[in-house]
Structure 1
């Protein structure tokens, strides 16, 4: 039986859309892994870049309420529901998250590490254009202090020790968040980063997808 990878979509899409968005990577991984695409818990408006291509492909979903940022909470209440996905559809050797899905994956794995004393059955975590809790310290005067305080509370819970792979788009408007997720929330001893020429989307270049697939295989095989 092939090992499983859990794919977590970004905010404002859904599992089937993410399956299409990840098509090139999935083609490379399918010979080695069973890919499981999960749906977010909450309905939402379509996310950035979803329309018009995926018009009619809803309902669109998200993992958490993080826009506007104030509804987000440090103790994400869906952590147990996320853990149930691992239990009922796993076991999984890795989690691949895009945008908000990467944030959800990081929060889940950090929660499991804290609950088990630093150990998780998930061997590695992949963030593609990942966003960060509370979108990082804000710049707006009205919300800056509260937002910054919540960000710092989340950061103080510790860094993810599970091996992490970070693919960051050089022209991604959310790149600053991806960099914070890398630097502030993932242990420097167990993280690797690739910056690719792209915006806020799954990589489209064949060479980048091959590199990502190769790194995932290396993480699984312990190379």
Structure 2
């Protein structure tokens, strides 16, 4: 009997949303990950700043979870969060994909859109990311604003074509997102059109978990991974 070939291994870094944690993200992505290639391995990157639970988290996952954010709400804290993610990538990367939900998407996008012309370490950290799956992402912060002490959302019309995220990206978002309406589409428009794929779903500000939506999103992600 012929032996079956080993599945290709894809290394994925997972970033949770504000007011949640890695254990909750595991539950939120369980249906999706069931449909991803069996060779995927997952690193779960925790936020360190205590945060109130995001809307709906207590109702869905109970009151026993301690919830976190990746930054403390200040401009300095935002810069430190991006630097810590860059350090993690330099130490533990490369990753075939970042799987990033909500604030996790904003964190990844802030790093990828950060200027790196004068900073070879930042350039090297960004090179450790081969692709990104943005799940109901919120908008990133502009690096210039953070350096000036301001925490503001970066809008897509302020990202020039040459500075857009050029690596392959998947953008899963919903017209029913009432918490951060339109933000995921803004993030999508910060990525180059020729390397991005859009997947709409009905989960609001969440991650598709119903069978048809989860399997379709997984199909698109798998196609991206296999073409890296």
Task: Please indicate the TM-score interval, normalised by the length of the shorter structure.
Answer: 0.7 to 0.9
Match of 1:176 among 166, 182, 185: 182
| 1:3-27 Cα shifts (integer Å, max 9, x gaps) | 2101111000000110011110122
The match for 1:159 is 164
The match for 2:31 is 24
User: Structure 2 matches for 1:35-74, cutoff 5 A?
Assistant: 35-66=42-73, 71-72=74-75
- Aligned to 2:61, what secondary structure does the other structure show? coil
Judged with a 3 Å threshold, the aligned counterparts in structure 2 of structure 1 residues 55 and 33 are, in CA distance, closer, same or farther, namely same
Match of 1:85 among 84, 88, 98: 88
The match for 2:146 is none
User: Structure 2 matches for 1:124-203, cutoff 5 A?
Assistant: 124-133=131-140, 151=154, 155-156=158-159, 158-173=163-178, 174-183=180-189, 185-203=190-208
Alpha-carbon distance between aligned partners in 2 of 1:118 and 1:36, rounded to the nearest angstrom: 16
Structure 1: gaps of 5 or more residues? 136-145
| Contact 1:112–1:120 (Cα < 8 Å) also in 2 | no
Q: Report the alpha carbon displacement of residue 82 of structure 1 after superposing the two structures with TM.
A: 0.4
Structure 2: gaps of 5 or more residues? 1-7, 143-149
Length, aligned pairs only: 207
Output the aligned Cα RMSD. Answer: 3.1
Q: Report the alpha carbon displacement of residue 64 of structure 1 after superposing the two structures with TM.
A: 2.4
Q: Report the alpha carbon displacement of residue 73 of structure 1 after superposing the two structures with TM.
A: 6.5
- Aligned to 2:173, what secondary structure does the other structure show? strand
Question: Please, what TM-score do these two structures have when normalized by structure 2?
Answer: 0.78
Question: Please, what TM-score do these two structures have when normalized by structure 1?
Answer: 0.80
